[in-house]
Amino acid sequence: MNRRSTKLVALGATAGLAALALAGCAPAGDGADGSGDTTTITWWHNGTGEPLNSFWEDVAGEFEAEHPGVNVEVEAFQSEDLQRTLIPNALQAGGDAAPDLFMVWAEGEIKAQVEAGYLKDLSSLTDVVESVGGAGTGWNVDGKQYGIPFRYGIEGIWYNADLFEQAGITEIPATFSEYSDAINKLAASGVSPVGVGAGDGWPAAHWWYQFAIKTCSPESLTKAADTLEFDDPCFVEAGENLKAWMDEFDGDLPFQSNPTSTPAQSVPNSSAGLLASQTTAMELMGTWHRGEVAKLVPGAPADNPPAPEWLSWMPVPDIEGASGAPGAALGSGDAWGVYVDAPDETLELLEYVMSEDVQTRFAALGEIPTVAGAEAGITDPVLKQIAEGTVNASLVVTWLDTQYGPVIGQAMNDAIVNLMFGDGTPESVPEAMNAAAATL
Amino acid sequence: MTALDTAGPAVTAGPAPSRNTKHSARRTTRKWGEISLFAGPAVLVYLIFVLLPVLLAAFYSFFNWNGLGPLDRFIGLDNYTRLLADPVFHRSVFNNFFIIVMSLLIQGPLAILVALLMNRPLRFRGLLRALIFVPYVLSEVTAGLAWQILLQSVPPNRWGPFDTLLRSIGIENPPAWLADQDVVMWTMFGILTWKYLGLAIILMLAGLSGVPEELYEAAALDGAGWWKTQWYITVPLLGPTIRIWAFLSIIGALQLFDMVWIVTGGGPLNASSTMAVYMVKNGLNVSQIGFGSAVAVVLFLISLVIALVYQRFALRRDLAGAITGGVR
């Protein structure tokens, strides 16, 4: 073998291996394949569990049957992985690596993707945009619609009706002082009244959010979201109100012991698990909680576990004398966004996924739909209550960490947990938010 | 075969100097061809997946970048000054060093002691060795989740399995293992010791098998007891093993991430955060790729300095000629 051929073989082998390695890294892309006959649409969602995973597969199959030559590749990923790692990396890689249809979170979360020019403006899909009504507001950036919510609802207090009865609570509390009475009765009956997964930060932070939307006027909230300046005194007042409420009780109350080591969901010792095993009587959480609790009920079947019969829901009571809008609620949902260079058929798929028929079947699985008319599919009485509560809320404020974006969100959540269970002060929460905003 | 065409005559009166040079040049070329053929792919993979990300992280750390769109907000050393001023980062660095020091002070001696005991003729020795090694074989996630569930308690009406056990032997108010800021790092150290002690013991046992039998016989003839024999013969001869174990332990403690992430997530209130946990929480989880990269660079530099210093001073005899250029 002469010098040249040795070199060539070495180079060839190296290049070949590198090419193989790199080819292996590139996911199947969108657009037409080599033959030019088939269009492939990639669709990423967060329905990793059943029945959702199979449901989205079925919907994709139905669309393929109606659209010969279109191939839909559906993949499910855990929410945080999807939102924090997979989608940003795929969008940054661009081209074939980016998914065509994928989940987007509202307001501050979607903004960076819009600013980088990765999302298609969906405003032209007027029927779809109108069908979701006010729920779509959070995905409207600078007057253009970049996401269509498929799931939307307000959070409330999930409670155990049996434990309420045992503790002698006959009326659902309508004000915070009635709510405190209920907590005392539950504690006297030997149950931990309220469970909170402060180990994950955000479940505890939602308590402060609730006090903030009930303490701050809608104008103050809008101004803070627009300017990302948190100097309005109502933010300090919200922390004072929260702390004053927590200090009303003896010992660890109103929350269970060791809240800062309790995760939010997925495992038996999470706050969802404590509610499911009837150790705690209540938990403040979003619409998805029905499914989380059902999964963690001791002895629940692995596939499609039913929600326990005692699981009930009530809106968060109003705080007497607070200057926030009465009936204001906290909530949001998950939406579909479309990659800027996605094939045109993706919009047709989106229209199909958001059709009243698909949304009605989605609702029948125990979800809260967004399309008007699809609520007919809701069979669960608790979810019906949440859907009504969402429609009746005087104002739905998006989760504050979603609204202000992840950087401020994380600093705010950490400061709130520190205020509730550490040595933080009511002032330290807006201070941390302002400091985080300064790094943006 | 092309090699035949270029080969010189089989017998010569003595190769001319020019031909000799040509031959050796050809040999060198061939040698490099072979090296690139066999090592090339591995070097390429190393460059793409190890060296390039390190360099990119260093580059990103000078930007305010959320991972989306162009890198156009150069902020110089701002990420570093912000990082070095953050008390949570200080706490994280402290926690890494806490684990290093405690491992060296407690895990190492414990492993040597158990290895010495297990090196004697024992019934079920093979079974014992296997049992001790089991935690190391388990994945971090499985072990972490198991410990999280075992230690989680919601007194007064739902005690976790571990606390129930303690209460059954009369310890009524066990500490809040994962919820108390003053206790949580000791809990983490306990879990890590449970997980990694087996590896240390197996390493020490391997080291012990290399101690020549004659030395023990000589000591016995001199009338040395068991303790004296271990202290003056076994432990000094275990030196290289101990130094390598300590090196692995230090590097492992600096990288500590998965167990903490699963068991406490860095909580409560960041009390069990480590540098790697801090990096993921403040970099990846909130899409601050520039800031996260700055944390990664600092973590890399700390690890590099410690590794170099350790190799230069502690491992110099063990690695003579390999890394330190033949120190005798």
Per-residue pLDDT of chain A (440 residues; tens, 9 = 90+): 344 444 444 444 444 444 444 443 444 444 444 445 799 999 999 988 878 899 999 999 999 999 999 999 999 998 888 988 899 999 998 889 999 999 999 998 899 899 999 999 999 999 999 888 888 889 999 999 999 999 999 999 999 999 999 999 999 998 888 999 999 999 999 899 999 999 999 999 999 999 999 999 999 999 999 999 999 999 999 999 999 999 999 877 899 999 999 999 888 889 999 999 999 999 999 988 998 899 999 998 887 788 899 999 999 998 887 778 888 899 999 999 999 999 999 999 999 999 999 999 999 988 899 998 898 899 888 999 999 888 888 889 999 999 999 999 999 999 999 999 999 999 999 999 999 999 98
Answer whether A18 sits within 8 Å of B41, measured CB to CB: yes
CB B262 within 8 A of CB B148: yes
A contacts of B75 (beta carbons < 8 Å): none
CB A330 within 8 A of CB A216: no
Give the distance from residue A196's alpha carbon to the nearest chain B alpha carbon, in angstroms: 11
Q: How far apart are CA A44 and CA A57, in angstroms?
A: 11
Chain A, window 98-137: residues with a beta carbon less than 8 angstroms from a chain B beta carbon = 112-113, 115-118
Greatest pairwise CA separation for chain B in angstroms: 99
Closest-CA residue in chain B for A267? B149
CB pairs under 8 A between A and B: 151
- B282 touches A: beta carbon within 8 Å: yes
Helix (H) or strand (E) holding A64: helix A52-66
CB A198 within 8 A of CB A262: yes
Query: What is the separation of C-alpha A429 from the centre of its chain, rounded to a whole number of angstroms?
Result: 22
Answer whether A257 sits within 8 Å of B155, measured CB to CB: yes
- B176 touches A: beta carbon within 8 Å: yes
Domain parsing of chain B, residue ranges: 48-85+285-315, 90-276
pLDDT number for residue A33 = 45
Burial class, B282, CB count within 10 angstroms (exposed 0-12 / middle 13-18 / buried 19+): buried
- A23 touches B: beta carbon within 8 Å: no
Give the distance from residue A57's alpha carbon to the nearest chain B alpha carbon, in angstroms: 29
- B47 touches A: beta carbon within 8 Å: no
pLDDT-derived band at B227, boundaries 50, 70, 90: confident
Q: Give the mutation candidate from A6, A83, A84, A274 for the B interface (greatest B CB count, under 10 A).
A: A6
Collect all residues with Cβ–Cβ distance below 8 Å to A81 and sequence separation of at least 6: none
Higher pLDDT, B323 or A115: A115
- B44 touches A: beta carbon within 8 Å: yes
pLDDT number for residue A17 = 41
Q: Which of A235, A241, A218 is nearest to A430 (CA)?
A: A235
Q: How far apart are CA A201 and CA A80, in angstroms?
A: 14
Residue A84, phi-psi category: left (phi > 0), alpha (psi -120 to 50), beta (remainder): alpha
β-pairing, A144-145 vs A148-154, is: unpaired
Domains of chain A: 8-153+333-390 (3.40.190.10), 154-330+395-437 (3.40.190.10)
CB B220 within 8 A of CB B265: no
Q: Helix H segments across chain B?
A: 2-6, 17-46, 52-60, 78-85, 87-102, 108-118, 125-137, 140-151, 161-168, 184-208, 213-221, 226-229, 235-237, 239-255, 258-263, 275-279, 289-313
Say what the ipTM of the complex is. 0.84
Helix (H) or strand (E) holding A80: helix A79-81
* Reported pTM: 0.86
B contacts of A84 (beta carbons < 8 Å): 284-285, 287
Can you name the CATH fold of B90-276? MetI-like fold (1.10.3720)
